[in-house]
Amino acid sequence: MKITLMMAMTLDGKIAKNSDHFPDWTSKEDKQHFAKISKEAGVVIMGDKTFFTFPAPLKDRLNVVFTLEENPKEMPGVKWVKGEPEKVLTELESMGYKSAILGGGAAVNGMFLEKKLVDEIIVTIEPKIFGEGLGLFKGGFDVDLKLKGVEKISDYSVVLRYEVLK
């Protein structure tokens, strides 16, 4: 299964000011770009802190949400998961999915990267600086990337596309 990490970040590498920060700071072009690619994949994987920053589950795709809660509230379009990401990916493949978007937060991104499950990284650089906040990944890594493309999506925002070298 192909896993593409897709995030927006500030010029200083922050994905949010804190774990409760609603992602309303990104450009409309970034939101459109994310919606297009994630709907094509059909699945967005995220942690529950990221999920709960949204007013509702993302429409027209399966929201796969890592949680530590014992009995999370059932919601249409949401699959609550725990444990090893490899097992979750195997289950998604058995459901017929061939690719998924990894959409945060820092801990879930780090967990997938550490286990060498990320194939591609697409990052929108937004013209903001938070100074303090959450980075793209939590954990310590030494991962090599190959730049596959650069695209200007607005007068202010740029998308970088990298292949993760394994």
Q: Which pLDDT does position 20 carry in this prediction?
A: 82
The CATH number covering residue 131 comes to 3.40.430.10
Q: Which pLDDT does position 42 carry in this prediction?
A: 97
Q: Which pLDDT does position 19 carry in this prediction?
A: 84
Phi/psi of residue 46, each to 5°? Answer: -155, 170
Residues in Cβ contact with 76 at an 8 Å cutoff, skipping those fewer than 6 apart: 57
The whole-model pTM stands at 0.95
Positions of the chain with pLDDT under 70? none
Domain range for 100: 2-165
DSSP 84-143: -HHHHHHHHHHTT--EEEE---HHHHHHHHHTT---EEEEEEES---SSSEES--S----
Domain tally, the chain: 1
Of 33, 2, 19, whose CA–CA distance to 160 is shortest? 33
Helix H or strand E segment including 91 = helix 85-94
Q: Which pLDDT does position 23 carry in this prediction?
A: 79
- Count of CB atoms within 10 A of residue 137's CB? 25
Q: Which letter does DSSP use for residue 74 in this model?
A: P
Helix extents (H) in 15-67: 28-41, 48-51
Rounded CA-CA distance 94/148 in Å is 30
